[in-house]
Homo-oligomer: A and B are copies of this chain.
Amino acid sequence: MLKLSTKGRYGVRLMFDLALHNGQGPVSLRDIATRQSISEKYLWHLIPPLRDAGLIRSSRGVRGGYVLAHPPSQISLKDILDVLEGRICLVDCVANPSLCPRSRDCIPKDIWRDVSQTISRTFDSFTLEKMIEKQRSVQEAINYAI
């Protein structure tokens, strides 16, 4: 049905939360869970892949937590979703033509490949930095209204 899974959605919110607190020291998962209203237990599932992919860094023990491994301008939604949902590929035969004997001259496959690339590029055009900017302009609008 072409839905993003909870993993991807929550993962982006997790990373966005880290981006909003970038430069303020490690952020604990509990804080993120509370702010984002997401079960801490569930959020934990997202950590190992994000860490192993080098998107976040962790420090253990008291006052430990997570920080972005790169500036928000250098982390795109594509980076996050590639890790949590796998690389965008609308149908498997695009990445793995041997799955289907028709793939050699399959027009639909070519289309799925093109659209997959478009989606990928779209996700890549949204960085955490852009999200922060949007957040700020929303805040200003609210303050102005008050």
Residues of A in contact with B (beta carbons under 8 Å apart) = 1-5, 8-9, 12-13, 16, 37, 77, 81, 85-86, 88-92, 102, 105, 107-108, 110-112, 114-115, 118-119, 122-123, 126, 131, 134-135, 138, 142
Contact = CB atoms under 8 A, between A and B. Distances in A.
Contact of A4 (B9, B91, B138): B91
B107 A138 contact: yes
A77 B111 contact: yes
B102 A37 contact: yes
A51 to B, nearest CB: 21
Nearest to A84: B1
B90 A107 contact: no
Closest 4 CB pairs of A and B: A4-B90, A118-B122, A107-B134, A107-B135
A9 B131 contact: no
Given A115-B123, A123-B115, A107 B16 contact: yes
Nearest to A77: B111
Contact of A2 (B16, B85, B138): B85
A126 to B, nearest CB: 6
B123 A3 contact: no
A134 B105 contact: no
Nearest to A12: B108
A92 B4 CA distance: 9
A2 B5 CA distance: 8
